[in-house]
Amino acid sequence: MVEPYGYRVTRQAGSHLRLTCFSRGKEHHITIPAHVALRVGTLGGILSEIAGYLKLDRQDLMRKLFGG
């Protein structure tokens, strides 16, 4: 999960989780599927959305989350 960046699970509806972050002075919500495996495009969209909110480069965010 992305808890180091302040996201917390705030709701679950069926097979989707809603994460909320308050770290930049404005609420940010993102809904993600709670599946074992995500499609590459879905994961890319989630990372882009979070990187945009946090004002980080998507590649930097990926390195911080997944190493490398």
Is-contact 14 26, C-beta < 8 A?
Answer: no
* DSSP symbol at 4: G
User: How do residues 45-65 score in pLDDT, each as one tens digit?
Assistant: 999 999 999 999 999 999 988
User: How do residues 9-50 score in pLDDT, each as one tens digit?
Assistant: 999 999 999 999 988 788 999 999 998 899 999 999 999 999
Domain count, the chain: 1
- Burial bucket for residue 22 (CB in 10 Å: 0-12, 13-18, 19+): exposed
Residue range of the domain that includes 47: 3-66
Q: What is the CATH number of the domain that holds 47?
A: 3.30.920
